[in-house]
Amino acid sequence: MAHDDNVLLPGVIRTGTLVSDNRLFPTMQVPIRVTEAGIEITISWSGEDAISRLWSGSEQYSDDPDRSQYLYEVPRNLWFYDVNGSIALLDCRRADMSQRLGLYSAGRGTIIANRAVMGAKLHTKYQQIYGLRTSIEGLRRWISKGSIERTSTHDKDFRYVSETLNIESPDDVRLEDDPLVYIHFDWTVSSKDGTYTVNDKVYVETRSSKPLTWQSAEHLHKAIQDLLSISYGENRDITESLILRSPKPVITANNRIANEEWLPITRRIQEQHRPKYHRGLIPYERLEKDSIQKWLSLYDQIPRAIDPIVASFTIDKATPEVKLLEAGSGLEALGYYLLKAGGKNKKEANKCSFKDRLKLITENLEDILPFDVNDWIQQTTSAYNGIKHANRKRPDIIVCLNSWQRAVLTFRCWIALNLGIDKDFLKSRAELDHMRGGYKLLWDENEEQE
């Protein structure tokens, strides 16, 4: 079972027992911690310890020519436990190894796990799951619902008198039927030293009566995460993940779910981004009944457009040229998709220039975008080709930034329009959007030197 102390925190090392279901893997005491690479397990040895063979690669040993007596590959799944609880370590792989030879030979090797299931039962498989919950930054604001309703009272002089909190979870909002995907509302209350804390939680939840792979479950959640990122034009992080391993919850006499064991997931350390913008192009209340289904379909049809464009404004520390290159490649892919959807064959679609693809993408956007579309097409085509081809003029940084921002805004408006967002509403939001391309050169170093 998971409890409050069974966590992996940045900078904190836990020491406990590491076990495997492989008989050749010895039970041992190890430290583990969460890092930017994943969940890091460190194994130390002295002398000629057989555990060192996990890092031997293809090296041959005379005492085990058929490699059957010792272990040479890191088990995919490992389990860890200490006084604070148990953890399943999934998708393990070997990483660094250092060794000192000689009279006092010793070594140390690192194993990295991609995921840790906190509170997992020892020797229980978690490669397939029956449910996944994720909390996404800004999801509650986007869905415009929560579990807390506040009512304040004031006296005749408008002085604050009291406040009442009504805590009740709304009904789930269904997004997809197979597998079942919906927005789930939850809340918790805790108290310490007279202070009460109410957590209003909103999750994207997937559940199935049949086992799901991690990839299929996470794909649906990533689609909703990317939709929020596209709406706001900025990174919207996943802040919490939980999994359900059993399809059979405990049911009460009146046929209600009494208890389900949702276990928290820990992954690698990632920088968290605080939302800066709250006026999205794609508010949930503006979507049509089938808009989410349309989005999930588009998400599978045009990943080569979506992935690089979203990456261009969510990756950290990328240069303006890299941002424009990512966004440009995504628009190329979107143009290709539209050409194929319009009846062109592969050969005809491939021959279409980048400039013509931009014209096709913006066919229904000229009255929506807050800039001259033809000028942007000319500028972006020149800048994008200038980055791609060494024999072209390299664009300056301001051109790159404005071309990139407007490329992203164009794509976001294209998505919004295809999901049923009203043109007039979209135009009003685009006019105030932070990616409308407002970079200007404040001074010219060359002019200052003259």
Tokens found for residue 352: 């279409």
Phi, psi of 265 (to 5 degrees): -110, 135
Residues 364, 358: Cα–Cα separation, whole Å: 12
Question: Are residues 13 and 32 in contact, defined by beta-carbon separation less than 8 angstroms?
Answer: yes
- Can you give the pLDDT of all 450 residues of the chain as single tens digits? 445 789 999 999 999 999 999 999 999 999 999 999 999 999 998 877 789 889 988 788 888 888 888 899 999 999 999 999 999 999 999 999 887 765 567 889 999 999 999 999 999 989 899 999 999 999 999 999 888 888 888 888 888 888 888 988 899 999 887 778 899 999 888 888 888 888 899 999 998 889 999 999 999 999 999 999 999 999 999 999 999 988 776 555 565 554 678 999 999 998 888 899 999 999 999 999 999 999 999 999 999 999 999 999 998 889 999 999 999 999 999 999 999 999 999 999 999 999 999 999 999 999 999 999 999 999 999 999 999 988 888 999 999 999 999 999 999 999 999 999 999 999 999 999 999 988 887 665 555 554
Q: Is 73 helix (H, G, I), strand (E, B) or coil?
A: coil
Query: How many alpha carbons lie under 13 Å from residue 321 in its C-beta half-sphere?
Result: 10
Residues 282, 212: Cα–Cα separation, whole Å: 29
CA 217 to chain centre: 12
Residues 63, 46: Cα–Cα separation, whole Å: 19
What per-residue confidence (pLDDT) applies to 60? 83
Question: Are residues 193 and 104 in contact, defined by beta-carbon separation less than 8 angstroms?
Answer: no
Q: What secondary structure does DSSP assign to 276-310, as a single string?
A: -----SS-GGGS-TTHHHHHHHHHHH-HHHHHHHH
Residues 10, 8: Cα–Cα separation, whole Å: 7
What residues does 43 pair with on adjacent strands? 109
**For the chain, what is the largest distance between any 2 Cα atoms, rounded to a whole number of angstroms?**
92
Q: Which residues contact 163 (CB under 8 A, 6 or more apart)?
A: 150, 151, 152, 153
Sign of CA dihedral 275, 189, 3, 184: negative
Please state whether beta strands 238-244 and 262-266 pair in parallel, antiparallel, or not at all (unpaired): antiparallel
Q: Is 332 left (phi over 0), alpha (psi -120 to 50) or beta?
A: alpha
User: What 8-state DSSP symbol labels residue 48?
Assistant: S
Buried b (16+ CB within 10 A) or exposed e, 364-391: ebeebbbbebeebbebbbebbbbbeeee
What per-residue confidence (pLDDT) applies to 104? 64
Residues 183, 241: Cα–Cα separation, whole Å: 14
In terms of pTM, does the model score above 0.75?
Answer: yes
Question: Are residues 33 and 12 in contact, defined by beta-carbon separation less than 8 angstroms?
Answer: yes
